Amino acid sequence: EHGFWRWKELPPKMLRLSEKLGISLLARDNAEDFEIEVVSGISPCRAGGFSIEAGVKGIREKEAASFLNVLGNTVYAEDLGMLLVKTETGTVKFFSNGNLLVSSETKEKAVSLFKEAAKQFIRLSRCTGCGICVKACPVGAISLEGKIPRVNETCIRCGKCAESCVVTRYFDKLVPDLNKRLKV
């Protein structure tokens, strides 16, 4: 009736509505294994450029919001359940329902940005809290809260954290056949 089924994780606005209406929402752990599934290959956008759509499981936009600064400037609209990352080459939009939309002006840039976003998502999902990225960061922009990495606004996007991360070294094995799924 109120559309709560639309979200894997309800945005704060919907949580307030459920509380106001007296609807009980049982807390449960929705932890899933990480998975990224390309929904549509590279498509031309109506506004120009190209986009790639995917479904992501095992990552919540709240976690991603404090990590994807490594890609570009992030804007997290918690009420809308959306994370927007603006990079030099395009945009990454990640929604609370797991939808991921990457867009850029050319096919090549869209593919490159999609792959970089996928690497960061898998880094976040497979992070063991080893701290190698913290030590590799030349400006001290990375911290660990438990085993969850956080990247603050001082990040200069040099990529040294990703280069030092063991997870990104095995990206091709962790996400096999990505080029095939992207049809590149």
Domain ranges of the chain: 33-176
- The set of residues, in sequence order, having a beta carbon less than 8 Å from that of 7 and lying 6+ positions away, is 14, 81, 96, 97
pLDDT of residue 17: 82
pLDDT of residue 115: 94
Instruction: State residue 30's pLDDT score.
Output: 44
The tens digit of pLDDT for each residue in 164-174 reads 998 988 888 88
Within 13 Å and on the Cβ side, how many CA atoms surround 2?
A: 15
d(CA 59, CA 34): 7
User: Has domain 33-176 been given CATH number 3.30.420.480?
Assistant: no
Q: Closest Cα partner for 95 from 81, 74, 76, 109?
A: 81
- Answer whether 55's CB lies under 8 Å from 121's CB: no
Q: What is the dihedral of CA 38, 44, 47, 51, to 10 degrees?
A: 20
Taking only the tens place, the pLDDT of each residue in 106-140 is: 999 999 999 999 999 999 988 888 999 999 999 99
- Which amino acid type is present at position 141? A
pTM, two decimal places:
0.78
